[in-house]
Structure 1
Amino acid sequence: MSTAQPPTDRPDTADVLVVGAGPAGSAAAAHAAAAGFDVVLADAAVFPRDKTCGDGLTPRAVAEMSTLGLDGLLADRPRLNGLELHGWGRAVYVPWPSGHFPSYGSAVARLELDDAIRGLAVTRGARMVSGAKAVDVEMDGDRLGAVTFATDDGPHTIRAREVIVADGVRSGLGKLLGRQWHRDTAYGVAARAYVPSTRADATLMGSHLELRGPDDTLLPGYGWVFPLGAVDSGPMTAVARPKGHGLLNIGVGALATSKRPAHMALRPVLEHYARMVGDEWQIAGDPVRIASALLPMGGAVSGVAGRNWMLIGDAAACVNPLNGEGIDYGLETARLAVARLGAGDHTDAWHATLVEHYGLAFSAARRLAGLLTMPQTVPILGRPGIRSQRLMSLVVRVMGNLITPEDTDLVARAWRSAGRVSTKVDDVPPFA
């Protein structure tokens, strides 16, 4: 499609150029515009556009949405108070832990979430450039002087004092700047779809820790069901469903490494999973809008910053290796990156910021995720664990990265200790 701006609407300069208008990039543009910077936000797509995602917002993400000023967006969305975990013939309900973060999560389809955050950035003064894909860079010595975009009308170059790179998991601009993805650590593959349901107003997330294929083979992954509510307004109303039904986001994810790649066809696994949970979730139709994605995780990239540029969100592999969540880290790294604007050379400082906030947790999490790429490990850890609600509460807290530096309890101290030990034996530490 071609509804991008005419050439006359494309700016040539900016204080801050943000490349990528997903949650991370749009949040960065919104924060930077609010701080008084002249901001250009560019994306290859024309919005609203879909994105492969589970659509779930953990309490950590809900907190960042509030900081951003988008509490209102979640006001009429599902309030998800906990998770129902299934596996090995058992189910246990685990409320989100109370503490530093809100005690609930939510879910918003990315088709709507991304456009809402992008709209906030524009409302605050950011200038949006749609249908523009970053394809080249101009360097001024050791500084990134300009980015060239491919558009329907030919190349267009934007010069900027500082650049925030938020162009997603593959990060074409990041590659031009030297970003490298290290696949020897755990990464994820996932597929999601939408299904109609009369349980779309449920107040919990569903998660199946024992994921099996159509042939009943145990797989190194998990399944999820996130209720989106009635969805009676916005672009998601275009998804067909019977009267009185809302929508669920349903999906499957698998962990892999370069040594143990995930050899599984995601679509049949997802369709099988939908049939498996069909009665429980009152699903009234086949999965639609099936889409898949590849996810670098746990800071498994190097080259995250230069003198006047920073990678954030998925581009910096800020995805939780234990649950595939990336929206919270996208929003957080956006805020942290904007706080550094105008502070001088980002090369070492931004790397240090990412390591400070995520290094220990990401190292420990991806090491554990690496163990889970071996199917035989899953029942060894999962079967006894799901018998204890107390233990699963601890698992949810760790999997959701709901531990903060301010937490001093035994679990928090043990998790940080595990991270310190893990980083010492990492061949390639997070963001290195």
Structure 2
Amino acid sequence: DGLTPRAIAELDALGLGDYLDGRPRLDGLLLHGWGATKRVPWPSGRFPAYGSAVARTELDEEIRALAVSKGARMIQGAKAVDVTMTGDRIESVTLATASGTSSIRVRDVIVADGVKSGLGKSLGREWHRDTAYGTAARAYVPSTRADENWMGSHLELRGPDGNLLPGYGWVFPLGSAGGGLLNVGVGALATAKRPAHMQLRPILEFYANMVRDEWGIEGPPVRLTSALLPMGGAVTGVAGRNWMLIGDAAACVNPLNGEGIDYALETGRLAVELIGDTRADPDHTARWRDILVDHYGLAFSAARRLAGLLTVPQAVPTLGRPGIRSQRLMSMVVRVMGNLITPDDADLVARAWRGAGRVSTRIDARPPFS
């Protein structure tokens, strides 16, 4: 539900900027941990200096309605479950409905079916868990502070037993237009070597109770959902001759905060631009992996390596305790975690982050999207 400034920029480009006028305008992050609190505004620069929060059911419906208004033909109550191939091209997509199955002949296919990506699997998509991945849960709670203009983030996440977890908790105020609710959630990092053996529901309920007074929570968490999140391009098989995976299906999720909406919007735009630019080329989507690597490869490699480090016991307090007491350092962290460094940025932080990405990519056993 949380929208970073980068996601706001993509919604503006779609023509949905006005839709957010009645939604919360979130100025930055209210960070907590190890006895300290910091208000860190979103950095100014290429992107808007604010974020927002909208329930995904509402945001997705608004995007769907916009697509239909622009001429898209929408089929609802159906799920794409399989493909028929002619050689190495998708000839048709099989849809499952309540009344049975049917097929649609296709020219190009953009696979955008989320973290599990059933259709992607049928095309050979494979998720590799040797690098960091996420496990997360969220719920909604009524609150007297739903119109707050900061995102809450607790970097010192503990379970009901008091043990420190390699993750963080969040609070996204959805505003009056969002029903006076907060999105309250917890997320933790894991790798194949250090899997996350956690019961998410009691951790989320414990966290919601922990922030109850601070955030004016007036009821128990409801509508709880959870998911495993492939992150940092940790998938192979993202494209073929006339198809490509985007968004969560392509593991375009930030390894440092689990955010994926901006990547979903961006990769959707980039995929359409690629098809439009190269329609006459029957192999145009073969370029898709290179485009993903060019846009996200360095940052994803560095971020998932850092995220993997955070799964090591005691790494979180070792880095977090001194870090949260520095306003400058926290501003740098928010800039990196919020995916707010662009290729045009030439300052020291941007150069250092890209340098870390280049070094990380060279030593990756499996670079992003490989």
TM-score (norm 2): 0.98
- Count of aligned pairs between the two proteins: 366
**3-state SS of paired residue (2:141):** strand
2:329 equivalent in structure 1:
391
* CA RMSD, Structure 1 to Structure 2 (Å): 0.9
1:118 equivalent in structure 2:
64
Preserved CA contact (<8 Å) 2:274 2:285: no
Preserved CA contact (<8 Å) 2:82 2:119: yes
Quote the offset at 1:308 in angstroms: 0.7
Match of 2:29 among 77, 83, 86: 83
Q: Does 1:100 align with 2:46?
A: yes
Preserved CA contact (<8 Å) 1:305 1:346: no
2:181 equivalent in structure 1:
247
Equivalence map 1:122-141=2 (5 Å):
122-141=68-87
Between the aligned partners of 1:253 and 1:106, the Cα distance in structure 2 is: 19
Q: Does 1:420 align with 2:358?
A: yes
Between the aligned partners of 1:283 and 1:125, the Cα distance in structure 2 is: 42
**3-state SS of paired residue (1:85):** strand
Superposed CA offset, 1:323-368 (max 9, x none):
1000000000000000011512144310110000000000000000
2:291 equivalent in structure 1:
353
Equivalence map 1:262-301=2 (5 Å):
262-301=196-235
**3-state SS of paired residue (1:210):** coil
Between the aligned partners of 2:323 and 2:136, the Cα distance in structure 1 is: 24
Equivalence map 1:140-155=2 (5 Å):
140-155=86-101
Gaps of 5+ in 1: 1-54, 238-245
Superposed CA offset, 1:163-193 (max 9, x none):
1000000101111111110111100010000
Q: Does 1:321 align with 2:259?
A: no
Between the aligned partners of 1:336 and 1:130, the Cα distance in structure 2 is: 25
1:408 equivalent in structure 2:
346
Between the aligned partners of 1:347 and 1:130, the Cα distance in structure 2 is: 26
Q: Does 1:338 align with 2:276?
A: no
1:47 equivalent in structure 2:
none
Superposed CA offset, 1:106-146 (max 9, x none):
00001100111011111111111112122221112221111
2:110 equivalent in structure 1:
164
Superposed CA offset, 1:30-76 (max 9, x none):
xxxxxxxxxxxxxxxxxxxxxxxxx1000000000000110111010
Between the aligned partners of 1:167 and 1:192, the Cα distance in structure 2 is: 20
Superposed CA offset, 1:59-99 (max 9, x none):
00000000011011101000000101000001001000000
Between the aligned partners of 1:313 and 1:388, the Cα distance in structure 2 is: 33
1:57 equivalent in structure 2:
3
Between the aligned partners of 1:326 and 1:78, the Cα distance in structure 2 is: 19
TM-score (norm 1): 0.84
Q: Does 1:69 align with 2:7?
A: no
Preserved CA contact (<8 Å) 2:275 2:285: no
Q: Does 1:229 align with 2:163?
A: no
Q: Which moved more, 1:321-330 or 1:133-142?
A: 133-142
2:133 equivalent in structure 1:
187
Match of 1:174 among 113, 120, 125: 120
Preserved CA contact (<8 Å) 1:194 1:287: yes
**3-state SS of paired residue (2:176):** coil
2:161 equivalent in structure 1:
215
Q: Which amino acid aligns with 1:326?
A: G
Between the aligned partners of 2:124 and 2:133, the Cα distance in structure 1 is: 20
**3-state SS of paired residue (1:341):** helix
Q: Which amino acid aligns with 1:311?
A: L
Q: Which moved more, 1:339-348 or 1:77-86?
A: 339-348
Between the aligned partners of 2:345 and 2:306, the Cα distance in structure 1 is: 21
**3-state SS of paired residue (2:95):** strand
